[in-house]
Structure 1
Amino acid sequence: MSRFSKKAFFASLALMTFASQLMAAPLPLPGSSPAPLPKPALEDTQQPLPSWTVTRTFEQLGRATDTLLLGINSAEQVEFSVRRDRIASDARLQLEYTASPSLIPTISHLRVYLNDVLMGVLPIEKDQLGRKTTQQMALDPRLIADFNRVRLEFIGHYTDICEDPANNTLWVNISRASSITLQEQALSLKNDLAFFPLPFFDPRNTGKLELPFVFAANPTLGEQQAAAILASYFGSQSNWRGADFPVLFDTLPSVQSKEATQPSIVFATNDHRPAFMSDLEKFPAVTAPVVQLIDHPDAPYSKILLVMGRNEDDLATAAKALALGGNLLRGQKATIDKVEALQPRKPYDAPAWMRTDRPVRFAELITYPQQLQVSGLQPRPITLDINLPPDLFVWRNQGIPLRTQYRYTAPSANDDSRLNISLNDQFITSLALQRKNTSNLEELRLAVLSNDSANANDKLIVPSLKIGDRNRLRFDFNFASTVGSAQRDRCQTILPANTQAIIDEDSTIDLSGYHHYISMPDLKAFARSGFPFSRMADMSESIVVVPGSSTPTQVSTLLEAVAGISARTGYPAFGLRLSNDVDSAVKQDADVLLLGQMPEDMRDNPDLSLLLQRQRDMLVQPYSNAGIEQSARRGPSVDEHSQPATRVEVSAQAPIAAIMGMQSPHHNQRSIVALLGNDDADYALLRETLADTGKLNAVAGSVALIRSSGVYSQLVGDNYFVGNLPWWLLLWYQLSEHPVLLAVIAVISVLLSAFLLWRALSWAANRRLKDD
């Protein structure tokens, strides 16, 4: 996760922090004893509460690189959070830094603040100049709330007279290996569903979600479907954190001690329930969909969520209610009366994707307050993440309108202060920040097809060929200022102004009017965006085919695959359908996600380039892999480079898995994506790949082969297209791959037009002669 994504996450919890600080105990006055922190409703227990030590480096907290504090950019803060069901009993800061060798020792120092309260001062000693130094400082745990900020301020001096704050000798480098260590203690919350999704998921936790699911042996399709719906909800909530769903049959997760705090979810019907629920007096049969929160029998601090019903339909209803109506739940046990969909989803309406049917205001794209506002002579960049459907067709488009409005503090003179705009780290334009008219809203325009300078009264056009499924729009305000004197005998120091800049929330970007058309198979679109299953945010046009008898690892693969798709759409898969009959599934007008082995009747498909069997593995090789490098948006050309050239068959015992994409044999606009494996070791490779961003980025083409050494992708066979284009645009798009044919058609068109024009003129001349 990038630095700015984590900053967005932490800043989005600012409102939660405010509420938490209102509940926190006031700071003690000098000479008084500290007031105890208020506690949530706790259960009475005589056992010691579990506690553990948690250490997070600055890199894990969003600082991907070292931080350089300067004389004019002297402060930086690091945010961290604490789960709502935990409290910090002790806290320490370990700071690794390197100070400039030109500093004056002792009077140069670092101030450390926790939540805007001074924790201490670290003087820079003589023996520390120019050397890496490690120092520890205690942080007051009474100040730690849900969301916290550690701020570092650098006060540096290099001379005792006529000091220039912008002098390049004033610096201290804060290492990203610096860390914050917390002694966290669990809070024993009551069994109250009002806290849901706690303790199963907490948005304050930046780590990967791990949530065990428990079934009776041989879970049915309906039970797996209900679990997939609930897993997709947690996947949509966990987002960039990722999620693991270990699966167990007939038993609860084992605990290391009675202080364990691992929650889990159990699915049970009246006729099919795990073995530990066999006691009908303790777990009576239900007459409606029911969710209940209980303690783990071997660990009182671990919670278990029971999802129960009379049958499989009740389980699906309960799972949907947890995802949709969690705010209505309260008490230890709740009965679900009704869950009804009032309006069906529409294609491409995923909450995590930007709207493409109208102009979108920047206010709809921000993830935390004040994201569009910065301050300082060297302010941080303003960034906006723009996620788009991967099949958005922007081929040979003139550009995407970007109406940008901004305000900034007036510079002291018309100097080199500028606003730089870039997209996906590719420079677009640079605009001068003038001294006049800084309080007005301005509109910009960048001429894409010429070298004209930007006009401050037009619209900015973002080069459309640089747009992908994940984009980052970046605005860099750079202020030039004179803050010192160049005369040695006349000392004059000017403090830099508190410069501020803002991109107005009413700025817009317009992607309306674009068509949806993509070359398939394209496993990169599946790996990065969950396409084509994410086309409908609720996966209502998707069918997942699972083996007739599933193992725990296979069920885990199902849950994590569906949760990964929902993480990319930001919406649970309420419309998901499960089947164990691949023949009937591929005949339906739906995209198919296949788990397991390739069916016998599909192995003769001419596009099939991979076959994994228990006895023998077969792989068809193309001439080269150049086709994979071509943009799936433009479509690979089918030539000798993508046609099969050789066939390799291997027998081996080590695990191997694959992800494969192909066209549905019954519907031209539908696709099949197969997650192929034979045993649990193969599925473990699939799960590892689905959870690893680096490995997912290597998935591309039509086949991705997964081994312990990594992912190997290739493109074999014919491509097909999904989506629709107007006939004239489709004609130009198809002819663009054949320039000679296009030239011949152009010549024929010119000759035919000339001939028709000559005939028309001849007819007009003959008619005029007859009239005379």
Structure 2
Amino acid sequence: KKVMQLGELVEATDLVGMGLQPGRLQANFRLPPDLFFWPSEGAKLKSHYRYPRGEWLDTRRSRLDLTVNGQYIRSLPIKTQNLFSSLAAEKGITSAQSTAVTTLPAYTLFGQNELGFNYDLQVADPGQCVGRLPNNVLTSIEPNSTVDFRSAHHAARMPNLALFTGGGFPFTRMPDLADTAVLVGENITAGEVEAFLQLMGQFGNSTGVPTTRLTVMRSVQPSRMADKDILVIGRSDLANHQALFEKSPVRIRERRLEVTHLTPLERFFGWFTPGGRHEADEATLAVSSASGFEGVTSFASPFTKDRHVVAVLSSQTSTLPQMTSLLPTADAKAQIRGDLVIRNGDEFKAFQVKPTKWRGDLPWWLAIGYWFSQRPVVMALAALLASIIVGFPLYYALKAHGRRRLTGKKDA
């Protein structure tokens, strides 16, 4: 749904807290990781929240704090008392309701999310005898509060490993992984099996659906891999499959993994892509200086258009479970992006080696606008060129018009 009510995401009773301060309420919900919000900043949360009223409450210091996945977003106000509040209090009404609209930034949203509300209620008189909240204080977030995703599109620049760690994309596009093929080594080890099971558990946790319809293979089979996203798990030697790793940022050469050399055309367009050219050089240095390889890479599938490959590789398969267990952590999500990630202990170094392309349903005019927004120099040059194209003909037309006026000739 483009607009979701919080009451549809969780049980209504989970949104009601009763008792002494502090009162923390939360709603958990899942999202497709490929939501693209530009030019809007994110989803719109319309909160209907209820809180107590009374002379004992200091409305100027009291507030409702809003968080998404542990990140503070903003504080919603507890409105001051007015004439209507006094009349309501006389009739025995002891609660008030307010409404606020908040933007949930796109960078705070992942495949699985926790929306947190924390009431901070302060008493009006902080004296020793009366400085405590009354008993049975009721606070709530109304179930008809909504999260609006109508400004989002299902589109993403791929490859992008941030979407893989954030929600298992592109594999979780189908919750049961029906469009996923998994390639493992012919002589699979215990480490590969453990890493595979960990990833399946993470995918299922992101979607809420068991990963029961994926296809597992021990060799590259283009006919069976067609129309599927491909997950590779195992030793870095699997990059020997030239047909599969044709478009990969890394490949095996003389029994050693190295970064693929960019073509002259890719290097040329790298000048117009932020970080496109120098990151390829940095990735080459990082891979060549390491004694082995442990990391993740992603690239376009050579068998089907608009499908992708994610390869989780390590020179020692015994370290694969350690790496896959780190992928969904908050620290890893903050570090991982691009199409090549190299692990060093608990840290990940990310690179964007190859050019990216849109995957999903994005209007062409929005794609062009986003392209220019990421390249201010190109935008400035385009504006200069447009002014020249429009300005010169207009200049000569006005100049000719002036000459005709001076010679007394009328315009045709």
Q: In the aligned structure 2, how far is the partner of 1:740 from the partner of 1:700? A: 24
- Contact kept, 8 Å, 1:579 with 1:585, in 2: the verdict is no
1:533 match: 171
Counterpart mapping for 1:156-555 below 5 A: 357-366=1-10, 370-376=13-19, 378-397=21-40, 400-412=43-55, 415=58, 416-424=60-68, 425-435=71-81, 436=85, 439=95, 441-444=97-100, 460-469=101-110, 470-482=112-124, 496-498=133-135, 499-555=137-193
**Offset, 1:420:** 3.0
Among candidates 314, 327, 349, match of residue 713 of structure 1:
349
**Offset, 1:494:** 8.0
2:249 match: 608
C-alpha change, 1:465 and 1:417, in structure 2 (3 Å) is: same
2:378 match: 741
1:570 aligns with 2:217: no
Report the AA paired with residue 233 of structure 2.
L
1:64 match: none
SS at match of 1:480: coil
C-alpha change, 1:770 and 1:640, in structure 2 (3 Å) is: closer
C-alpha change, 1:751 and 1:411, in structure 2 (3 Å) is: farther
C-alpha change, 1:417 and 1:411, in structure 2 (3 Å) is: farther
SS at match of 1:442: strand
Q: In the aligned structure 2, how far is the partner of 1:650 from the partner of 1:377? A: 56
Q: In the aligned structure 1, how far is the partner of 2:224 from the partner of 2:393? A: 51
SS at match of 2:74: strand
**Offset, 1:485:** 5.4
In the TM superposition, what whole-angstrom CA distance separates every residue of 1:575-608 from its partner, at most 9, and x where no partner exists? Answer: 3122333141686121101233223324874643
1:269 match: none
2:257 match: 618
Q: In the aligned structure 2, how far is the partner of 1:585 from the partner of 1:558? A: 23
Report the AA paired with residue 525 of structure 1.
L
C-alpha change, 1:493 and 1:676, in structure 2 (3 Å) is: closer
Normalised by the length of structure 2, the TM-score is 0.74
- Contact kept, 8 Å, 2:189 with 2:317, in 1: the verdict is no
Q: In the aligned structure 2, how far is the partner of 1:443 from the partner of 1:756? A: 55
Q: In the aligned structure 1, how far is the partner of 2:41 from the partner of 2:348? A: 36
Counterpart mapping for 1:636-655 below 5 A: 637-643=275-281, 645-646=284-285, 648=288
C-alpha change, 1:618 and 1:552, in structure 2 (3 Å) is: closer
- Contact kept, 8 Å, 2:276 with 2:352, in 1: the verdict is no
Q: In the aligned structure 2, how far is the partner of 1:559 from the partner of 1:413? A: 55
**Offset, 1:410:** 0.6
1:588 match: 226
Q: In the aligned structure 2, how far is the partner of 1:711 from the partner of 1:464? A: 25
C-alpha change, 1:501 and 1:404, in structure 2 (3 Å) is: same
Instruction: Quote the sequence identity (%).
Output: 23
Q: In the aligned structure 1, how far is the partner of 2:310 from the partner of 2:239? A: 11
SS at match of 2:295: strand
Q: In the aligned structure 2, how far is the partner of 1:585 from the partner of 1:426? A: 48
Q: In the aligned structure 2, how far is the partner of 1:551 from the partner of 1:588? A: 27
**Offset, 1:511:** 0.7
- Contact kept, 8 Å, 2:244 with 2:301, in 1: the verdict is no
Counterpart mapping for 1:17-32 below 5 A: none
In the TM superposition, what whole-angstrom CA distance separates every residue of 1:214-272 from its partner, at most 9, and x where no partner exists? Answer: xxxxxxxxxxxxxxxxxxxxxxxxxxxxxxxxxxxxxxxxxxxxxxxxxxxxxxxxxxx
Report the AA paired with residue 503 of structure 1.
I
C-alpha change, 1:483 and 1:497, in structure 2 (3 Å) is: farther
- Contact kept, 8 Å, 1:617 with 1:650, in 2: the verdict is no
Report the AA paired with residue 257 of structure 2.
M
SS at match of 1:404: strand
- Contact kept, 8 Å, 1:585 with 1:592, in 2: the verdict is no
**Offset, 1:501:** 1.1
1:143 match: none
2:318 match: 684
- Contact kept, 8 Å, 2:297 with 2:310, in 1: the verdict is yes
**Offset, 1:538:** 1.4
C-alpha change, 1:657 and 1:668, in structure 2 (3 Å) is: same
C-alpha change, 1:358 and 1:649, in structure 2 (3 Å) is: closer
Q: In the aligned structure 1, how far is the partner of 2:373 from the partner of 2:21? A: 46
- Contact kept, 8 Å, 1:612 with 1:677, in 2: the verdict is no
Counterpart mapping for 1:692-703 below 5 A: 692=326, 693-694=328-329, 697=333, 699-703=336-340
Report the AA paired with residue 600 of structure 1.
H
Among candidates 299, 302, 306, match of residue 662 of structure 1:
299
- Contact kept, 8 Å, 2:43 with 2:151, in 1: the verdict is no
**Offset, 1:552:** 4.8
**Offset, 1:730:** 0.7
- Contact kept, 8 Å, 2:231 with 2:311, in 1: the verdict is yes
**Offset, 1:401:** 2.6
SS at match of 2:277: coil
Where does the alignment leave 5 or more consecutive residues of structure 2 unmatched? 89-93, 262-272
C-alpha change, 1:504 and 1:567, in structure 2 (3 Å) is: same
- Contact kept, 8 Å, 2:21 with 2:120, in 1: the verdict is yes
Report the AA paired with residue 360 of structure 1.
M
1:283 match: none
**Offset, 1:462:** 0.8
Q: In the aligned structure 2, how far is the partner of 1:751 from the partner of 1:523? A: 41
**Offset, 1:571:** 0.5
Report the AA paired with residue 297 of structure 2.
M
C-alpha change, 1:636 and 1:605, in structure 2 (3 Å) is: farther
Where does the alignment leave 5 or more consecutive residues of structure 1 unmatched? 1-356, 445-459, 487-491, 623-634
Normalised by the length of structure 1, the TM-score is 0.42
Counterpart mapping for 1:717-736 below 5 A: 717-721=353-357, 722-736=359-373
Q: In the aligned structure 2, how far is the partner of 1:547 from the partner of 1:381? A: 48
Report the AA paired with residue 473 of structure 1.
L
**Offset, 1:638:** 0.9
Q: In the aligned structure 2, how far is the partner of 1:361 from the partner of 1:538? A: 25
SS at match of 2:371: helix
Q: In the aligned structure 2, how far is the partner of 1:465 from the partner of 1:390? A: 10
Kindly indicate whether structure 1 or structure 2 has the higher relative contact order, using CA contacts under 8 Å at least 6 residues apart.
2
In the TM superposition, what whole-angstrom CA distance separates every residue of 1:726-754 from its partner, at most 9, and x where no partner exists? Answer: 11111111112322321232344456566
In the TM superposition, what whole-angstrom CA distance separates every residue of 1:677-725 from its partner, at most 9, and x where no partner exists? Answer: 46xxx33311232234548546544334457x44543315213232232
**Offset, 1:505:** 0.6
Q: In the aligned structure 1, how far is the partner of 2:41 from the partner of 2:104? A: 7
1:598 aligns with 2:239: yes
In the TM superposition, what whole-angstrom CA distance separates every residue of 1:330-359 from its partner, at most 9, and x where no partner exists? Answer: xxxxxxxxxxxxxxxxxxxxxxxxxxx321
Q: In the aligned structure 2, how far is the partner of 1:711 from the partner of 1:664? A: 28
- Contact kept, 8 Å, 2:192 with 2:321, in 1: the verdict is no
Aligned length: 369
